[in-house]
């Protein structure tokens, strides 16, 4: 079928494709007044997005993380101007162009590579906002699934915040580089943790979450971010009861108006205080390869795909 001039390429959901994603066609985005249009140069894959892509309707343009150049400013006058380099968080990001709210973008400093900027939005915002749930200066912070995208940002940000950082990984091979990122202790599972912790950022779930709860100090909290385990977390009767200050467990999903926090992360990168931790990069033509590597946990950090430019 002949391609329309208004069509653009995108990664769309296809339950029959490897990783349930393939390159296809979609309509050029039509922005709302408070949205700009981004010429996408790079996108970032998150493991959860890939794992559950097949649950979306076929043909859906998937993904949330992108970086590129503004080609149409927002009609309401908010946000960056045409030509600005920005990182963005919004639905339908994995396309040659995306429409995104101006409250969900941040300009990329000149010294920051756009590919690295694309690695920040979902994972970086999650790490930053969960660590803000309580004071961490001088506290013991346990980060499970620390080798993943969220985990590697959380290790760095917790160290910047003055915490004693314990990075938990699934195997010794996944521990590479975490000490250099700021982890004071790196453990496999929960082995060797012999003192209570004040905050847990949990990316694993399952039985490990149940065991981690037992390590939580009175007054401490768990931020439940992800669930890499294929098993449920089963708590024995009364095991969640605690004498003294309340221990808490919270889910996380706050991605409202992320622009200012995204700007904070980009500032840290520009200052050399935060590494985007890109563990895999290639053309979006290789999406099946990247998706499978994420699912197999063969990537430490983020997977970045380079997007072919759209024809004008």
CATH of the domain at 115: 3.90.180.10
Cβ-in-10-Å burial (0-12, 13-18, 19+) of 25 comes to middle
- Same domain for 12 and 100? yes
**174 within domain boundaries:** yes
- Mean pLDDT value across the chain: 94
Last residue of a domain, one of 234, 251, 268: 251
Q: How many Å separate Cα 131 from the centre of its chain?
A: 14
Average pLDDT of 200-208? 97
Q: Is the pLDDT of residue 3 over 50?
A: no
Our count of domains for the chain comes to 2
- Same domain for 128 and 187? yes
**286 within domain boundaries:** yes
- Same domain for 43 and 136? no
- Same domain for 87 and 159? no
**312 within domain boundaries:** no
**269 within domain boundaries:** no
- Same domain for 302 and 188? no
**268 within domain boundaries:** no
Q: Is the pLDDT of residue 18 over 90?
A: no
Higher pLDDT, 301 or 89: 89
CATH code of 243's domain: 3.40.50.720
**202 within domain boundaries:** yes
Q: Is the pLDDT of residue 311 over 80?
A: no
- Same domain for 136 and 240? yes
For 149-186, what is each residue's pLDDT tens digit? 999 999 999 999 999 999 999 999 999 999 999 999 99
For 124-142, what is each residue's pLDDT tens digit? 999 999 999 889 999 999 9
- Same domain for 106 and 148? no
For 230-267, what is each residue's pLDDT tens digit? 999 999 999 998 889 999 999 888 889 999 999 999 99
- Same domain for 245 and 282? no
pLDDT band for 6, please (50, 70, 90 cuts): low
CB environment 65-88: b (16+ within 10 A), e (fewer): bbbbbbeebbeeeebbeeebbbbb
pLDDT band for 4, please (50, 70, 90 cuts): very low
Average pLDDT of 114-128? 97
- Same domain for 232 and 137? yes
Nearest to 100 by CA among 267, 264, 269, 259: 259
Average pLDDT of 72-93? 98
Q: Is the pLDDT of residue 50 over 80?
A: yes
pLDDT at 312: 59
**1 within domain boundaries:** no
- Same domain for 128 and 95? no
Q: Is the pLDDT of residue 5 over 90?
A: no
Q: Is the pLDDT of residue 2 over 80?
A: no
What's the domain range around 106?
Answer: 7-119+276-306
- Same domain for 285 and 246? no
In the chain, what is the straight-line distance between the N-terminal and C-terminal CA atoms, in Å?
A: 20
pLDDT at 258: 97
Q: Which helix (H) or strand (E) holds 185?
A: strand 185-188
- Same domain for 171 and 236? yes
**Prediction pTM value:** 0.93
Instruction: Report the alpha-carbon distance of residue 149 to residue 300 in Å, rounded.
Output: 7
**264 within domain boundaries:** no
């Amino acid at each position: 079928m002949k391609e329309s001039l208004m069509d653009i390429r995108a990664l769309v959901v296809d339950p029959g494709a490897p990783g349930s994603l393939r390159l296809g066609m979609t309509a050029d985005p039509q922005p709302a007044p408070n949205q700009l249009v981004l010429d996408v140069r790079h996108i970032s894959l998150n493991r959860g997005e890939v794992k559950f892509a097949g649950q979306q309707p076929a043909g859906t343009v998937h993904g949330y993380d992108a970086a590129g150049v503004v080609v149409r400013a927002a009609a309401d006058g908010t946000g960056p101007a045409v030509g600005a380099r920005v990182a963005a968080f919004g639905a339908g990001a994995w396309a040659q162009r995306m429409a995104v709210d101006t409250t969900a973008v941040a300009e990329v400093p000149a010294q920051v590579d756009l590919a690295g900027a694309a690695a920040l939005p979902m994972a970086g915002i999650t790490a930053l906002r969960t660590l803000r749930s309580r004071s961490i200066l001088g506290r013991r912070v346990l980060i499970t699934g620390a080798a993943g995208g969220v985990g590697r940002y959380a290790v760095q940000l917790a160290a910047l915040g003055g915490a004693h950082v314990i990075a938990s990984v699934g195997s010794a091979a996944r521990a590479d580089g975490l000490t250099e990122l700021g982890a004071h202790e790196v453990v496999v599972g929960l082995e060797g943790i012999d003192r209570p912790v004040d905050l847990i950022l949990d990316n694993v779930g399952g039985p490990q979450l149940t065991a981690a709860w037992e390590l939580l100090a009175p007054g401490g909290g768990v931020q439940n971010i992800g669930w890499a385990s294929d098993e449920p977390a089963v708590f024995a009767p009364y095991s969640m009861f605690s004498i003294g200050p309340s221990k808490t467990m919270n889910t996380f999903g706050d991605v409202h108006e992320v622009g200012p926090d995204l700007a904070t992360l980009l500032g840290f990168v520009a200052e050399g205080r935060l590494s985007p931790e890109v563990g895999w990069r290639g053309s979006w033509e290789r999406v099946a390869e990247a998706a499978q590597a994420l699912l197999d946990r063969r990537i430490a950090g983020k997977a970045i795909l380079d997007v072919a430019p759209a024809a004008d």
